[in-house]
Structure 1
Amino acid sequence: MKRIVAILVLVATCNSSFAQEAEVYQEPSKATVAYQEYREKTTRPPYGLEKVLMMIKKIEGNDENMALKQKDYLTLSLREKFTYHMINAESYSQNCDAMPPVLDAEKKIFAQLPDAFGEYSWSERQLNFLHANRDSVMALITESVGRSNRVGVNYKKAIIEINGREMIPLLISIYNRDHKDKDILTVLMILMKNNEYAPFMTSASYKKLYADGESSYHAFLNFNTANEELIIQRANTFYNALPKKG
């Protein structure tokens, strides 16, 4: 009898918890949904795009295996490989359900970027390509962004992966066109964090966003002129202090 009562109490508690969650849930605004979709957009490089899309189409439907066979992969030029990597992640990793849009996301500067490929991520072969061809990857991103004036989430991920700190002026230039893509500010902060830039590492912004690794995926700064200008100023100072080639 005691066990039955305990179970009923547990069920009631769970139902109460679910009811409370339902009560506090707020439908995101159209602006929030639109901005979330904007954040998740990738950029398709033009280099051999039709050829690469045809090759990817042949491996679609393989569920957890979205990798070209090595013999087919080796037929691609460097530019075509870049396109392939930017639009097709090979490694499948089961993730939890996608998180719903964060309320007022358009008014926030997030600590982390959204996923670029859903349940897929770059494989070891793909990461090796990015690092082995770091200068070429930065040059191709620069060339592509120069045409589209857009830095897709896949490009942002690639810049962070290869520690593309040389691209800070371009990122700031693209951001300053309309101040819309606040994830560019996120990239700037991650680059400073990954390079252990002292003025950023000792800042209140760092402590709020990255001091706790687990919570950083939900952390954000409020978007306002002061935070925007401070991030850009620190990133510029960081870039200007970098050793220059040649």
Structure 2
Amino acid sequence: MKKTILLFCILWAVNFASAQEDINITKYQDSRLKEAVPSYALSKVEKLISKLKQSSESLNQDTKNDISKLSDKDFEKLSVKEKFTYTMLYPESVSKNNLNIPAISDEENKIFGYLPDFKSNKKWSDRQISFLTSNKKEVIALIKESCLKDKFIGLNYKKALVKVKAIEAIPFLIDFYKYKDSKDKDILTALSLIVKDGRYFHYIRANIYKDLYGNDDKPVEESYIDDTASNEEYILKTASNFYIQYPKNKM
């Protein structure tokens, strides 16, 4: 009887520990996928999006992968701030190769080479990407203002900064990571991607770069390094050096 009770206790403890680990993994994954909500013309944009979602839900089964979106005429009528909020909250295209990250043990102690895709399995349309890149200065300014207000950098903001190759935002990202949210390792990922896209010679030849991006056969969700103090410091210092050395007239 005592042996049975002891065995039961051991099994319960093992299952409880396993369940607790799964909860922790899910919690951190959810934090990685959390998106920011811009406040600019939010009420107006939310009403537009609500109508579009209702229209999408009424599509035929054969067109279930289609997404209702504003006409080009209505899209162009929006101000820069309205387009920004609309783009951050409502990606207009479906992602065919969504990066569904599997559960990874000790995920919060890793620095990933890539940002995950949106949880909604969506991606920005060509016109939304064109808006972001052609209004790069304004987009960066709005992201900075919003992040400082909310003390949070959502996945959509990180992806936007990477998409527009926001070298100008490197000092902001470094400061935000150091003094506001050092638990958000995807800020380091965003910095790494901006430096990578800038083809910074000193980074490309580094071992960390090879570990993150040097194996084309490795699935992108498995491209990560351990979050050690030395790895963090290297990414932060490399990004800072890249910003300092990059010609300002090219930004």
Category of TM-score, reference length = shorter chain? 0.7 to 0.9
- Paired residue for 2:39, among 38, 46, 61? 46
User: Structure 1 residues 216 and 233, CA, compared in 2 at 3 Å: closer, same or farther?
Assistant: farther
Map Cα deviations across residues 91-124 of structure 1 (whole Å, 9 max, x no partner).
1234469333222110100011011253211111
Match of 2:73 in 1: 71
Deviation at 1:216, TM superposition (A): 5.3
Check whether the contact 1:89–1:117 (CA below 8 A) recurs between aligned residues: no
Check whether the contact 1:188–1:235 (CA below 8 A) recurs between aligned residues: yes
Match of 2:22 in 1: 29
Paired residues, number: 221
Match of 1:184 in 2: 187
Q: Considering only aligned residues, what root-mean-square deviation do their CA atoms show, in Å?
A: 1.9
Check whether the contact 1:134–1:162 (CA below 8 A) recurs between aligned residues: yes
Please give the alpha-carbon distance, in whole angstroms, between the structure 1 residues aligned to 2:99 and 2:175: 35
User: Structure 1 residues 204 and 216, CA, compared in 2 at 3 Å: closer, same or farther?
Assistant: farther
Match of 1:238 in 2: 242
Give ranges in structure 1 of 5+ residues lacking alignment. 1-25
Check whether the contact 1:91–1:122 (CA below 8 A) recurs between aligned residues: yes
Check whether the contact 1:66–1:89 (CA below 8 A) recurs between aligned residues: no
Scaled by the length of structure 1, what TM-score is found? 0.84
Deviates more, 1:144-153 or 1:46-55: 144-153
Percent sequence identity is: 38
Deviation at 1:71, TM superposition (A): 2.9
Please give the alpha-carbon distance, in whole angstroms, between the structure 2 residues aligned to 1:156 and 1:96: 17
Please give the alpha-carbon distance, in whole angstroms, between the structure 2 residues aligned to 1:115 and 1:97: 5
Deviation at 1:214, TM superposition (A): 4.4
Aligned partner of residue 221 in structure 1, secondary structure: strand
Residue 152 of structure 1 aligns to which amino acid in structure 2? Answer: G
Residue 142 of structure 1 aligns to which amino acid in structure 2? Answer: K
2:203 aligned with 1:200? yes
Deviates more, 1:156-165 or 1:31-40: 31-40
Deviation at 1:59, TM superposition (A): 1.0
